Structures are given as C-alpha cells and as structure tokens.
C-alpha cells in the first residue's frame, strides 16, 4: 500500500467552499477508484484554516492514476485559488491495517 499525508492551508474566506469541494472529491475518489482504499479529510482544531488529508492507495501507480482523473483535476482547478501556499505532502508505507484488511474495508467505505 502507498499512503500520503497532505497539509493544506486555506485562505480563511474560502474554508467552507474548500471543505465542500473536497468532500465531493474525496467521495468520488473512494467510490470511483478501485485503487483508493481510504481518504480522510481532517481540520486542525487550533488553526481551522489548516486541512489535513490522509489517503491510502493500492500502490503508487494507483495514486498517479488518481491524479489524472477528472474528479481530481476538477477539484484542483476549483480549489487552487483557495490555498495559501502549496500543499505539503509526505509519502508513507502502510503498516496497519494490513493490505488484506484494507481490501475488506473498501466496500463499507462507499456508504459513509
């Protein structure tokens, strides 16, 4: 599995629109991409304009496919002007849950 942790600072006046656009993108990613197993959108309680994404993909190739989808491109075009600076991304390897566990969880994530 291939995981990323992304930090995005959003201009305060765009926080609500950013969250709405990202929710659409996150749901579309989990529903429409077999290689995406989890997509978490989190907000910093001490700095509400800072968002964090935690995403798990089958492998780096699935992540690259994700970046080429219309869903991702539409999101990026929509929110690009809402960001303060560039997103910061950290790449990681998933240790737990296991690959098998993530495969078993995938069907249940579609109805969140």
Closest CA to 111 of 31, 5, 12: 31
Q: Per residue in 9-50, pLDDT tens?
A: 999 999 999 999 999 999 999 999 999 999 999 999 999 999
Query: What are the structural domains, with CATH classification, of the chain?
Result: 2-109 (3.30.70.100)
**What is the per-residue pLDDT for 5?**
97
- Using CA atoms, how far apart are residues 25 and 22, in angstroms rounded to an integer? 5
């Amino acid at each position: 599995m291939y995981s990323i942790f992304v930090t995005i600072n959003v201009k305060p006046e765009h926080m609500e629109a950013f969250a709405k656009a990202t929710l659409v993108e996150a749901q579309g990613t989990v529903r429409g991409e077999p290689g995406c197993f989890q997509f978490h959108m989190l907000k910093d309680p001490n700095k509400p304009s800072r968002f964090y994404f935690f995403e798990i993909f089958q492998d780096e190739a699935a992540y690259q496919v994700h970046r080429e989808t219309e869903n991702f491109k539409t999101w990026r075009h929509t929110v690009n002007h809402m960001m303060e600076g560039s997103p910061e991304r950290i790449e990681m390897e998933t240790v737990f849950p296991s690959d098998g566990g993530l495969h078993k969880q995938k069907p249940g994530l579609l109805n969140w």
